[in-house]
Structure 1
Amino acid sequence: MQKKYFTLFVGILFCLLLMGTAAAQPLLLRDRQVMVVLGNSITEGGELPEGYVSLMRKALEVLYPEMTVYIINAGISGHKSTDMYDRFDEDVLRWQPNWVTISVGVNDVWHGFYDNHPKGDGPRGVPLSVYREKVTAMVQRAQRHNARVALFTATVIKETLTGVENQKLVLYNQAIRDIAKKFKCVLVDQDAACRRVLAPLQRSDMADRGVLTSDGVHMLPAGNWLMAKTCLMALGVEESRLDAAKPLIENLVIKDQQALQKSLERYCVQNHELSFASDPGKRIVFYGSSSVDGWPLHKDFPRSPLLNRGIGGETTRQLWLRFRQDVLQLHPTGVIIFLGSANDFWPEHRMCPGHTLANLSRMVRMARSKNIKVAVGAIMPVNDYLPGEDVLASHPIERVQQLNRQIKEFCAGQQIPFIDFYSSVADESGKLRRDYSDDGMHCNRKGYDAWKPLVEDVLTLWEIR
């Protein structure tokens, strides 16, 4: 009996922690708002299941299940303030965000120490005056587009706080604080948060990594949690609620990690076998979700070196997370990306069209950086012709058509082929033709036959025959 009441008490206490103190500090986020998180490799890697960006999404889902905030990742490894400024319109303002977080400074300082410059004055760094100018300009551009800005101070460069890198970083972080104050931005003081953890641990023989970071810069799970928590607290989430919710958030991380591991294992053996090929030839990776997974490419294109790397049910985020293993490391001549009917649309994924386009853009950028040709397919239509099936509620025709216009525009801007998988199987109402599908969501043999010439056109363009 005592155990029963103790369990009940713990449950009630947990609910009170999740609910009780929200009024003490107002939440700055609102339902259906779009937040773009701009940064470098720490932010790009923050998309991993245990990364700080992913943790922020999971925390908001646990603490505010009635609300959806769309967090779009715009991190690119190695980028500095100058790089982020140059791509600000394309990677940030394009998504019409309500919020922009800017995490910049580590590479501006750290890269100045490259190539034997012990004072940090090397040409690969960014001078403080230029850094201040670029960050200020990004803040002003965001605000002119009615976006609120949250500025991150930079996290540490090595965990030994007296090191020359961190000493130089002090002035850059002070610049962030000054800009935040001047332009009334939300200050997310990641530097102060890191120092509160690391300062008590300082000693003469201390390692430069291992507490918050894996290499002195990139985050371990403890560092990712600290970054996510610091940002969310600055945006009005109570610390006590975050701490109480941490076990639930960690459970979501574990599920996310398990799903990613399962996806990575799907083609692991085949990929390994391909690595022994003396002449890889002109491989083409056909990449996507169930519509790719279910396509018998070896039968439809027997003379073409098409590698099927489709996995049913995956969102564009999941596709991006395995893109390096299942595309880049195969060293193909080209990749065809086809999202099928777009799993991003399902409500449980809490994704907006900006997510889809941003993740597509990221995969295209990664492929082209390796000189891999890219073609992107349109989202296919669905239908509600089967009794009891209402997929149009989550995949409305207008939304699919609008996203396809955006994908087509993106492809034109990138000068890459756009494959119209939509029009070739749609009926006059814009739905998937009744005779082309057995379930309203996927094509049957007739549907694949209608798509086959479209793929052949791209293979001919790429001289893959």
Structure 2
Amino acid sequence: MLPFEKNSRIVFCGDSVTDVNRDYKAIPAGWGSFGDGYVNLIHALLTAVYPDRELMVMNEGVSGDDIKLMEARWDRDVLAMNPDYVSVMIGINDVWRHFDGTFRQADLVSLDEFERTYDDLMERTAPHVRGLIVMSPFMMEPNRQDPMRAMVDRYAAAARRVADRHGAVYVDVQSAMDHFLERQSSYILSMDRCHPGIEGHMLVARTWLQCTGFEWERTTFDVQ
């Protein structure tokens, strides 16, 4: 449970699932900066339900990022924003390149390298923030024996270990997707099993808010 004190800055970092068409030229927390995905939905709900806290949400997702690309811009795009809370979702591209990058000799990120790099980022960031949030990479594929889905699960388990070691809130997005897929097809959420449509982004946002202590029934403001 995170308090998100008044005037807190919350930075979201990750890949295309976080980016979702955000305007890179927009000022932080300005028009167009939130993108069209879960970050925008979280921003809208935090603003609507916690107007008295005046929370600043910043989207620093970059489409195509794996953990090494994200690491290369971490100081500029995350730490330089002076965040109070940092939320990270990374890993799907680290997995995906093992399946679609072989014929172009993509630089592949091993599971060990993924976990070591993630550890380093959290170690560097923890002293500067009030809270860390680690979101699982996920795939909208119900067959856990599918080779790519099985690898996503291994990278998600690594993300959970990193969260546990650094006292971060862990947001198990994959479990939320799996619950949905017990009743409906993945095509309701995504055309490629990796990039959610708005329904999928709503699931991501709802799971994040549940894990961070969002008060869905809040009707009063904080005492000044």
Q: Does 1:141 align with 2:124?
A: yes
User: What is the match of residue 197 of structure 1?
Assistant: 180
Query: SS state of the match for residue 214, structure 1?
Result: coil
Query: SS state of the match for residue 202, structure 2?
Result: helix
Taking the TM superposition and a 5 Å limit, the aligned residue runs for 1:196-345 are: 196-201=179-184, 209-238=186-215, 240-241=216-217
- Name which of 25, 32, 38 aligns with 1:52: 38
User: What is the match of residue 221 of structure 2?
Assistant: none
Taking a change above 3 Å as real, the CA distance of residues 171 and 27 of structure 1, as seen in their structure-2 partners, is: closer
User: What is the match of residue 91 of structure 1?
Assistant: 77
User: What 5-or-longer segments of structure 2 have no aligned partner?
Assistant: 23-33, 219-224
Out of 28-37 and 213-222, give the one that drifted further. 213-222
User: What is the match of residue 138 of structure 2?
Assistant: 155
TM-score (norm 2): 0.84
User: What is the match of residue 113 of structure 1?
Assistant: 99
Higher RCO, Cα 8 Å, sep 6+: 2
User: What is the match of residue 5 of structure 2?
Assistant: 30
Specify the structure having the higher radius of gyration (Cα).
Answer: 1
How far did 1:216 drift? 1.5
Query: SS state of the match for residue 37, structure 1?
Result: strand
**Equivalent pair of 1:46/1:53 in contact (CA under 8 Å):** no
How far did 1:115 drift? 4.2
How far did 1:162 drift? 3.4
Question: Normalized per residue, which structure has more helix?
Answer: 1
Percent of pairs with identical residues? 26
The Cα offsets for residues 166-223 of structure 1, whole Å up to 9 and x where unpaired, read as 111111111111111111101111111111111344xxxx6xx422223211111111
Query: In the comparison of the two structures, how many residue pairs are matched?
Result: 206
User: What is the match of residue 278 of structure 1?
Assistant: none
- Name which of 65, 68, 74 aligns with 2:54: 68
Separation in 2 of the partners of 1:111 and 1:189? 22
- Name which of 87, 91, 99 aligns with 1:101: 87
User: What is the match of residue 29 of structure 2?
Assistant: none
Query: SS state of the match for residue 101, structure 1?
Result: strand
**Equivalent pair of 2:12/2:59 in contact (CA under 8 Å):** yes
How far did 1:68 drift? 1.4
Query: SS state of the match for residue 188, structure 2?
Result: coil
Taking a change above 3 Å as real, the CA distance of residues 237 and 73 of structure 1, as seen in their structure-2 partners, is: same
Taking a change above 3 Å as real, the CA distance of residues 50 and 123 of structure 1, as seen in their structure-2 partners, is: closer
Separation in 2 of the partners of 1:61 and 1:185? 23
User: What 5-or-longer segments of structure 1 have no aligned partner?
Assistant: 1-25, 243-465
Taking a change above 3 Å as real, the CA distance of residues 115 and 84 of structure 1, as seen in their structure-2 partners, is: closer
How far did 1:70 drift? 0.7
Taking a change above 3 Å as real, the CA distance of residues 115 and 153 of structure 1, as seen in their structure-2 partners, is: closer
How far did 1:49 drift? 6.3
**Equivalent pair of 2:67/2:117 in contact (CA under 8 Å):** yes
Taking a change above 3 Å as real, the CA distance of residues 32 and 174 of structure 1, as seen in their structure-2 partners, is: same
Q: Does 1:183 align with 2:176?
A: no
The Cα offsets for residues 369-407 of structure 1, whole Å up to 9 and x where unpaired, read as xxxxxxxxxxxxxxxxxxxxxxxxxxxxxxxxxxxxxxx
How far did 1:46 drift? 6.8
Out of 155-164 and 123-132, give the one that drifted further. 155-164
**Equivalent pair of 1:80/1:108 in contact (CA under 8 Å):** yes
TM-score (norm 1): 0.42
- Name which of 100, 106, 113 aligns with 1:130: 113
> Cα RMSD (Å) of the superposition?
2.2
Separation in 1 of the partners of 2:110 and 2:68? 10
Separation in 2 of the partners of 1:145 and 1:67? 21
**Equivalent pair of 1:37/1:74 in contact (CA under 8 Å):** yes
